[in-house]
Amino acid sequence: MAEQGTTNRQFSIEYRQYLDVQGKPLGPLPPDSSESDLLLNAYRNMVLTRALDKKAVALQRTGQMGTYAAALGQEAIGTAIGYAMEADDVFVPAYRDQAAQIIRGVKLEEILAFWGGSERGSDFQGPRRDLPNCIPVATQISHAAGVATALKLRHPGQVVVASCGDGATSRGDFYEGLNVAGVWQLPLILVINNNQWAISVRRQYQTASASLAQKAIAAGIPGIQVDGNDFIALHDALTVALKRARKGKGATLIEAVSYRLCDHTTADDATRYRSADELNEAWTREPVKRLQSCLHDNQLWDAGQEQALQASCRQQVDQAAQDFLSREPEAAHSMFRYLYAEWPASYAYQEQLLEEKLARQSQEGQQHEH
Ligand X SMILES: Cc1ncc(C[n+]2csc(CCOP(=O)(O)OP(=O)(O)O)c2C)c(N)n1
How near is the Cβ of 221 to other proteins at its closest, in Å? Answer: 21
Among 142, 195, 206, 225, interactor with Mg ion by CB under 5 A: 195
Binding marks (x or -) toward ligand X, 285..324, rule CB under 6 A? ----------------------------------------
**CA terminus-to-terminus distance, the chain:** 88
Q: How many residues bind ligand X, per CB under 6 A?
A: 15
How many angstroms separate the Cα of 131 from the Cα of each of 66, 88, 89, 91, 367?
Answer: 21, 13, 11, 7, 44
Tell me how many degrees the CA angle 21-23-24 measures, rounded to the nearest 5.
105
Among 93, 121, 127, 167, interactor with ligand X by CB under 6 A: 167
Binding marks (x or -) toward Mg ion, 165..194, rule CB under 5 A? xx----------------------------
Among 26, 87, 183, 201, interactor with other proteins by CB under 8 A: 201
R_g (Cα) of the chain, nearest Å:
23
Could you say which of ligand X, Mg ion, other proteins, none residue 298 binds, taking C-beta under 5 to 8 angstroms by partner kind? Answer: none
Letter for the amino acid at 261?
Answer: L
15: contact with other proteins by CB under 8 A:
no
Q: In sequence order, which residues have a C-beta less than 8 Å from that of residue 244 and are 6 or more positions away?
A: 222, 250, 252
Q: In angstroms, rounded to a whole number, what is the distance separating the alpha carbons of residues 162 and 81?
A: 9
How near is the Cβ of 357 to other proteins at its closest, in Å? Answer: 6
Selection from 26, 36, 71 nearest residue 51 by Cα: 71
Of residues 61, 202, 205, 273, which has the active-site annotation?
A: 273
Alpha-helical regions (H) of the chain:
38-61, 75-84, 98-104, 108-115, 139-154, 172-183, 203-206, 215-219, 231-246, 276-283, 287-297, 303-326, 334-337, 348-369
Of residues 50, 96, 104, 260, which has the active-site annotation?
A: 260
- Positions in the binding site for other proteins (CB under 8 A): 66-67, 115-119, 133, 135-138, 167-168, 170-173, 198-201, 205-207, 267-268, 271-276, 329-330, 332, 334-336, 339, 347, 350, 353-354, 356-358, 360-361, 364
Residues in contact with Mg ion by CB under 5 A are 165-166, 195, 197-198
User: Catalytic residues, which ones?
Assistant: 260, 264, 273
